[in-house]
């Protein structure tokens, strides 16, 4: 019986060796096929970005030394545009092909524009005209957003939305009575809050790096900019207002570095 069992075991061992040798073309495990690891977007990441923004401050200009309010212009729309750049931090969690994430970013900005118009004198009696120039600038802005995407391996399209904030400065120059002389200069600024929504596409590069492109619409809400400045004679004035809604669009390109393993493992 022992001889029979030993004989069967020998045949099985020889057959297995022959099968392995044929499968791996040499019998070494190092020659076994290597399979591509699944894509994973899970983890924390840091990155940088740059882009272009454009929008407007849409509202009206009025003069109010107290009561009542005097309109000095119809609705005004000061359009602005320019570049911006900054950084972002975030975290993704991949569940099957669904990727859930949160991201916060901040950008320094040169999004600005000017609007010049002519109006009657403050009191509306036609005694004189005033040429006014308003220069609106979004100095910096940021967002805190949720993200949800669907991973196609190393490619991740997503939608995003959440909280937005930004600092806006308004400079005012007034040329009086059609004479071309500056009568007063002033400025106002405010930190505004609102909301943002958009979408993007992120693609894995080599190692831990990924590249993304993203569009966002940003609405910072309605603000009454109360301009305070000085006349050329040194007197302080605080009578001009520009009340309007600050909205803009951004298109940007970003580069992210994910911690804790590659975004996508290539074939070895």
Average pLDDT over residues 17-36: 48
* Strand bridging mode 98-120 / 43-63: unpaired
Asked if the model's pLDDT at residue 34 lies above 60, the reply is no
The pLDDT of residue 227 is 83
What pLDDT is attached to residue 12? 39
pLDDT of residue 150: 97
Report the C-alpha gap between 192 and 206 in whole angstroms.
39
pLDDT tens-digit map of 163-177? 999 999 988 887 765
* Per-residue confidence (pLDDT) for residue 38, from 0 to 100: 56
pTM of the full structure:
0.78
Tell me which of 6-20, 70-84, 252-266 is least confident.
Answer: 6-20
pLDDT recorded at residue 206: 84
Is-contact 227 242, C-beta < 8 A? yes
Best mean pLDDT range from 32-36, 105-109, 132-136, 228-232: 105-109
Question: Looking at the predicted structure, is the pLDDT value of residue 184 above 80?
Answer: no
Please state, as a whole number, how many other Cβ atoms lie within 10 Å of the Cβ of residue 268.
7
Check residue 70 and give its pLDDT: 57
Check pLDDT > 90 for residue 86.
yes
Residues forming beta bridges with residue 259, ordered by sequence position: none
pLDDT at residue 33 in the model: 53
Which range among 7-21, 49-63, 87-101 has the greatest average pLDDT?
87-101
CA 101 to chain centre: 15
Average pLDDT, the chain: 79
The pLDDT tens digits of the residues spanning 201-227 come to 999 998 899 999 999 999 999 998 888
Q: b/e per residue, 148-176, with b = 16+ CB within 10 A?
A: ebebeebebebebbbebbbbbebbbbbbb
Per CATH, domain 36-258 is 2.40.160.20: yes
Compute the C-alpha angle 164/167/171, nearest 5°.
145
| Residue of 249, 266, 256, 265 whose CA lies nearest to 101 | 256
Q: What is the mean pLDDT of residues 122-137?
A: 68
Decide if pLDDT at 131 tops 50: yes
Q: Would you kindly state where each structural domain of the chain is located, as residue ranges? A: 1-33, 36-258
């Amino acid at each position: 019986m022992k001889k029979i069992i030993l004989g069967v075991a020998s045949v099985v061992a020889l057959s297995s060796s022959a099968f392995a040798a044929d499968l791996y073309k040499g019998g070494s495990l190092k020659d076994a096929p290597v399979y591509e690891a699944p894509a994973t977007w899970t983890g924390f990441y840091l990155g940088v970005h740059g882009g272009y923004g454009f929008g407007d401050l849409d509202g009206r200009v009025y003069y109010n030394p107290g009561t009542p309010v005097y309109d000095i212009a119809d609705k005004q729309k000061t359009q602005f545009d320019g570049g911006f750049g900054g950084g972002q931090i975030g975290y993704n969690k991949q569940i099957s092909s669904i990727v859930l994430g949160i991201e916060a970013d901040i950008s320094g900005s040169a999004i600005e524009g000017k609007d010049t118009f002519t109006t009657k004198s403050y009191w509306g009696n036609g005694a004189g005209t005033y040429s006014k120039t308003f220069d609106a600038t979004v100095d910096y802005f940021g967002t805190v957003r949720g993200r949800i995407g669907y991973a196609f391996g190393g490619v991740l399209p997503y939608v995003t939305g959440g909280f937005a904030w930004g600092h806006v400065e308004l400079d005012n120059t007034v040329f009086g009575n059609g004479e071309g002389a500056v009568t007063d200069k002033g400025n106002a600024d405010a930190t505004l809050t609102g909301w943002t929504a958009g979408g993007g596409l992120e693609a894995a590069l080599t190692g831990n790096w990924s590249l993304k492109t993203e569009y966002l619409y940003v609405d910072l809400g309605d603000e009454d900019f109360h301009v305070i400045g000085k006349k050329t004679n040194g007197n302080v004035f605080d009578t001009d207002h520009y009340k309007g809604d600050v909205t803009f669009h951004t298109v940007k390109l970003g580069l992210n570095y994910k911690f804790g393993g590659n975004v996508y493992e290539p074939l070895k």
